Amino acid sequence: MLYVAVNSAETAIKRVNEIVELGGHGIPPETIKKMYKQSNDNLPKVAYYADDVLIFDNSKQFTSVYQREKVIEIKNELSNYPRIKQNLSCSEIVQKDLKKFENKNPEIKAKKEPENKKDSPKD
């Protein structure tokens, strides 16, 4: 997943206006504001399902701020960009999902538990 952020909805509106001046199509400012907020709000939800995540800030200069491959964070400079959602760590989300699954399925036991010896292929 590739995500490119800018510092504000106003910057996004300015960029669209520049594109319109070059012959591109316009988007109403209210739509841009709505999409800007929705995009940032949905970022952690979508990033969770992506194998690889690359996030760039393009407010002034195209700058790499975050990279994750599978569940391993390669780069995380999101603290320098507080307007971008911070909770992109896969491990936190996966642990919450596993806990929910465990609570909904108490009959399923984790491997290597002493009372669950048949669950381990080596035993």
How many structural domains does the chain have?
Answer: 2
Q: Is 61 found in the same domain as 105?
A: no
Which DSSP string do the residues of 58-116 spell out, in sequence order? Answer: -SSS-EEEEEEETTEEEEE-GGG-TTS-----HHHHHHHHHHHHHHH-TTPPPTT-GGG
Structure-block tokens of residue 38? 């929705």
Q: Which domain holds residue 117?
A: 89-123
pLDDT at 120: 53
Q: Is 96 found in the same domain as 82?
A: no
Q: Is 17 found in the same domain as 67?
A: yes
Q: What would the pLDDT profile of 82-110 be if each residue is shown by its tens digit?
A: 889 877 766 666 667 777 888 888 887 66
- The span from the CA of 63 to the CA of 55, in Å, is 9
Q: Is 103 found in the same domain as 80?
A: no
Region of poorest pLDDT, from 3-7, 9-13, 21-25, 46-50: 46-50
Q: Is 66 found in the same domain as 30?
A: yes
* pLDDT above 70: residue 46: yes
Query: Mean pLDDT across the stretch 29-49?
Result: 93
